[in-house]
Amino acid sequence: MHPHPSEEFARQVARSLQEGRSARAFLPLFPALLRRHFPGGACVLYYKEAEGNAFRAYGADGGDNELPLLREESDLVESFTSRSEAMRLGPPTRMYFELFDRDCRGLIGRLGITLIVPLRARHYFRGLLLARPEPDGERPVRELEEAARTAAALFIPAIEAERMEFENDKNYYRLFKFDRLVLLGQMAASLAHELRTPLTTVLFETAAIRDLPAAAPACDTISREVGRASRLIESLLVFSKFKGLQLAEVRLRDFVEETLGEIPASKIPPTVRVSVEGERELRVTSDPGRLKQVFINVFFNALEAMAGQERGDVAIRVYSEYHELPRDRRCIVSICDTGPGIPDEIKTRVLEPFFTTKKDGTGLGLYISYSVMKTLKGDLEIQSSRQGTRVDLVLPER
């Protein structure tokens, strides 16, 4: 007697999870595995990224890089966040499929998708299965839904456990680096006056010899390097001189618009369009001064990322969300640019102190911003692709 397809499929899922190098590495295998056990048409899995608020696509036919990302705020994702039932294409649901098709840049229509299954385990909603089952009867569709949910109950907890372990390791590493940087900042603060005196002397002496024959180029180089050293000292002093929090109620969208209004128009390239949208009444309790420091740093990073482009966009969105329970609501200021994105080989290093790709950068801007957000009991999350970079300033609702 042959086993039921769903039972054999579940065993194969469990075996693949056990043999794989990581639970998340199973995701690209899932669509092809599903099609082998349940022959049909197209099959695409959308699963939430480990960081940020995007859902990445995995297809049975390969070419995952060409499949569009889904944002958490898209109609497709929001429609299934609290829905446990699958949705099948039919006259009553056709307008929903057309709406969802816009979120996927025409993927649903192009692949002929007729079934969308939300994937959840316990209280986690983590993904969507988009499929085109065999059109010859009700049973294959029900079996495909059952198999997808059975598999989700296996791989979602495994991925979540792996993610939490990774986050714990990453936070420990960041805390270790944070302590080292604090110590370095304290050393810089105690030496600042001693360093400034000889640097000022060098600049004065440079000015005195600038008129000597052939001295001007060397003087320019000395002045430039002294200026770079001074900026590094100032960055370290900013980090080491954190005072007590000055907490106040902050209306986030008003805060963003007022901060943008304080930036001189000459600092924003005419080729860049800046837009702000989102919840008008969203409020948090935070330190406006420190929050402004972080926002301005991230905003100018976004502008610099688009330098040299004919045109660019910085889209700022203010919104709130909760992942598991309403009491875990987070308030987010999201800054998205349309630059070239962060190269894969340096994505894991952008929050390291002193790491920079800028010619005159200190490598402390993003790390200090991340540390400030942590002192505000929030977070700084970065997500990047070739379509641009998104930085989320996350604050708890209070």
Is pLDDT at 325 greater than 60 in this prediction?
A: no
C-alpha–C-alpha distance, residues 63 and 365, integer Å: 36
Instruction: Give the Cα separation of 217 and 146 in Å (integer).
Output: 74
- Quote the pLDDT of residue 193: 58
**Residue 130 structure tokens:** 């988009």
Domain spans of the chain, in order of start = 5-167, 244-398
Q: What is the DSSP letter of 194?
A: H
239: pLDDT strictly greater than 50:
yes
Which of the two residues, 363 and 141, has the higher pLDDT score? 141
Q: What is the residue type of 2?
A: H
- Which residues are within 8 A (CB) of 279 and not within 5 positions of it... i.e. 6 or more apart? 252, 253, 318, 319, 320
Q: What is the mean pLDDT of residues 198-202?
A: 79
Residue 257 has pLDDT above 90, yes or no: yes
Query: Is the pLDDT score of 62 beyond 50?
Result: no
Neighbours of 38 (CB within 10 A): 22
Q: Residue 333: its pLDDT value, please?
A: 95
Closest CA to 259 of 211, 318, 205, 201: 318
Alpha-carbon gap, residue 134 to 40, rounded angstroms: 5
pLDDT band at 277 (very low <50, low <70, confident <90, very high): very high
pLDDT of residue 307 exceeding 60 = yes
pLDDT digits (tens, 9 = 90+) for 125-173: 899 999 988 766 666 788 888 888 888 988 988 888 887 777 766 666 6
Give, in words, the CATH class of 244-398: alpha beta
**Both tokens assigned to 74:** 């898209």
From the CB of residue 176, how many other CB atoms can be counted at a distance below 10 Å?
10
CATH fit for domain 5-167, picks 3.40.50.300, 3.40.50.620, 3.30.450.40, 2.10.60.10: 3.30.450.40
Closest CA to 58 of 127, 154, 134, 143: 127
Residue 73's SS3 state is coil
User: How far is Cα 161 from Cα 55, in angstroms, rounded to an integer?
Assistant: 18
The residue among 259, 335, 348, 351 whose CA lies nearest residue 303 is 335
Per-residue pLDDT, 115: 92
**51: pLDDT strictly greater than 60:** yes
pLDDT band for position 65 (cuts 50, 70, 90): low
pLDDT bin (cut points 50, 70, 90) of residue 101 is very high
For position 244, what pLDDT does the model report?
Answer: 62
Q: How confident is the model at residue 316 (pLDDT cuts 50, 70, 90)?
A: very high
**Amino acid 241: pLDDT:** 55
d(CA 142, CA 138): 6
Res 392: pLDDT: 93
User: In b/e form, how buried is each residue of 235-272, taking b as 16+ CB within 10 angstroms?
Assistant: bbeebbeeeeeeeeebbbbebbeebbeeeeeeebeeeb
Question: What per-residue confidence (pLDDT) applies to 40?
Answer: 74
Give the pLDDT band of residue 350 (cuts 50, 70, 90).
confident
Mean pLDDT (the chain, rounded): 82
Q: Give the position of tokens 């810089």.
A: 188
CA-wise closest residue to 126 among 40, 27, 22: 27
At 389, the pLDDT band (50, 70, 90 cuts) reads: very high
Question: How is 318-378 classified by DSSP, letter by letter?
Answer: EEEE-SSSGGG-EEEEEEEE-S----GGGGGGTTSTT---STT--S-HHHHHHHHHHHTT-
Q: State yes or no: pLDDT of 381 exceeds 70.
A: yes
Give the count of alpha carbons within 13 A of 83, CB side only: 13
Query: Which percentage of the chain shows pLDDT scores above 70?
Result: 80
* Residue 66 identity: E
Q: How confident is the model at residue 295 (pLDDT cuts 50, 70, 90)?
A: very high
36 has pLDDT over 50: yes
Contact 290, 370 (CB under 8 A): no
